[in-house]
Every structure is written in C-alpha cells, then in structure tokens.
Amino acid sequence: MSNVYRVALAGNPNTGKSTLFNALTGLKQHTGNWAGKTVDMAEGTMQHKGETYKLIDLPGTYSLFSNSKDEEVARNYIVFEKPDITLVVLDATSLERNMNLALQVLEMTTNVIVCVNLIDEAAKRGISINEQQLTRRLGVPVVKISARNKTGFPLLFDTMDRLVKGIIQCQPALISYHTVIEEKISKIEPLVRPLIDDDLSARWVALRLLDGDESLLDEIKGRMAQKEEQTRGLKYPV
C-alpha cells in the first residue's frame, strides 16, 4: 500500500531550495536569486520505496515572524496545513545566518529534517560541519547535501522514509529565552492551551501573542470559525 506524504520545503532565499525542489521532483522551473521569487507555491511529487511524497516549495524567507506576505504564507502552511515533514534548507556557507529559520521552525512543528545544502561549496571554502553533533543539539535529523550535484540524496530519502514511518522520532530542542520572557510564557501558555488544537504548539502561540502578532490570532480565529461553521452545517443541512 502506498501513502502520499506532504513535504514542505522552507529556507532562506538563495539557499538552493528551488534547485533541491527541481532535483527531487524533476519539475523544471526557473530558479531565481532574489527574495520572493517563489511566491506562488510550486508543487511536485517524487517516489521513494513505493511511497509518494508531495513536495511543496514554500516562499524563501529569512524569518517566519509574518512581516511580509511571503513569511505569512510559509508560516501558515507549516503551522496550519501540517505537512508530514518540514524540510528546512540551510546554506552551508552561511549556516549561522540560516540557522535562525531552522530554530523558528522547530518551535512551530515537530517533524523536521534540516537539510544543509551547498555542502560542496562549503568544502571548497574550507568550512566543515559536524552534522551528528548538530543532530544531537537540534533533536531532529540533519542531512548534508548538494542539490546541484545530487550528493547526499540517498541518505535524505532514507531519513524521510524513516521519519514518516515513525522509526525516527523528532524531539526538537526548544530555545530557552531570558528568564523574564520565560516567566511571561509560563503565564500565557496555560491560558492558550485549552483554546487551541492539540497539534498547535501552545508555547509557540503564547510567544506570538507576547510579541503582538495579531495576524496569527486572526488566522487562528478565522480557522476556528470555519471549523465551527462546518460542524454546524452538518447538524442543520440547508
């Protein structure tokens, strides 16, 4: 029996995310070198070990604070559409800058694979990355690849396979904030928890409420109203 798993690709602009998407799906599309080139989400499928993976190429963003339409689209997909895997693509040549996005994704969802791309470029510049150490510290699998040359793909496929089959369990390492913020979180989080679905991270929602992200609140409320309407619609069919 074959399942269809949804895999969302997130990453900063210029990390080779679209190159990876093309390489995996074989769907040819133009890859750009500036922010927001991929605003409409491109989709494609790939097969591995009899399973079908539907890949969704999210807009390239530097953060997921919903400052822009792109960031909101990417964030909403990860949080509300709940893909089976979120593949965070990082640029090995500027890992520190890219890591922010990975950390943000880890706060939002559990099933994450961190893809360190452009590993050939990094090697040329004498940058080496200890992915085992990184895996331990992040609590999710880290795979080194080069999307251009298709190196590291077998391991990536294998990791995806084991993740969707539950052989690997992700335990994302959460950031601990300054004590002042942590105290505030612990005040808000219990209030949020009863209001939201189990698969939405209460800690993350609490954080967003604290930093005043009202667009997220509207999104949650809108989705709940929709759900309510649907259940009501079932009870009293027109």
Partner 1 sequence: MDLSIQFDKVLNEARDISSAEIRDEIVQSLHEKSKELCARTVTFSKTKEDVRTEKLDAVLTSPIFGFPIMLIMLGAVFYLTIAGANVPSSMLGEFFSWIEGYLTIFFQWMGAPEWLYGILVLGLFRGTTWVISVMLPPMAIFFPVFALLENFGYLPRVAFNMDRIFKQVGAHGKQSLTMAMGFGCNAAAMMSTRIIESPRERMLAILTNNFVPCNGRWGTLIILSSLFMAAGFTGGWASLVTTAVIVGIVLFGIIVTFFVSFVLSKTALKGVPTHYTLELPPYRKPKVWDTVIRASLTRSISVLMRAVKIAAPAAMLTWILANVFIGDTSILMYFVNFLDPFGKMLGMDGYILAAFLIGLPANEIVLPVLLMGYLSTGSLTEVDNLMDLKQIFLDHGWTWLTALNMMLFSLLHFPCGTTLVNIYKETKSKKWTFMSFIIPTVIAIAVTFILAQAAWLFGWV
Residue from 103, 155, 168, 170 that binds partner 1 (CB under 8 A)?
A: 103
CB 57 within 8 A of CB 19: no
150 binds partner 1, rule: CB under 8 A = no
Between 164 and 172, CB nearer to partner 1: 172
Q: Three-state SS for 20? A: helix
If one counts every other C-beta atom within 10 angstroms of the C-beta of residue 36, the result is 14
186 binds partner 1, rule: CB under 8 A = no
The DSSP symbol for 165 reads T
Per-residue b or e along 189-207, where b marks 16 or more CB atoms closer than 10 Å to that residue's CB: beebeeeeeeebbbbbbbb
68 binds partner 1, rule: CB under 8 A = yes
Alpha carbons 166 and 161: distance in angstroms, whole number: 9
175 binds partner 1, rule: CB under 8 A = yes
188 binds partner 1, rule: CB under 8 A = yes
Binding residues vs partner 1 (CB under 8 A): 12-14, 28-30, 32-37, 39-40, 62-63, 65, 67-70, 93-97, 99-100, 103-104, 121, 124-131, 133-134, 137-138, 148, 175, 177-178, 181, 184, 187-188, 191-192, 195, 206-207, 209-212, 214, 217, 220-221, 224-225, 228
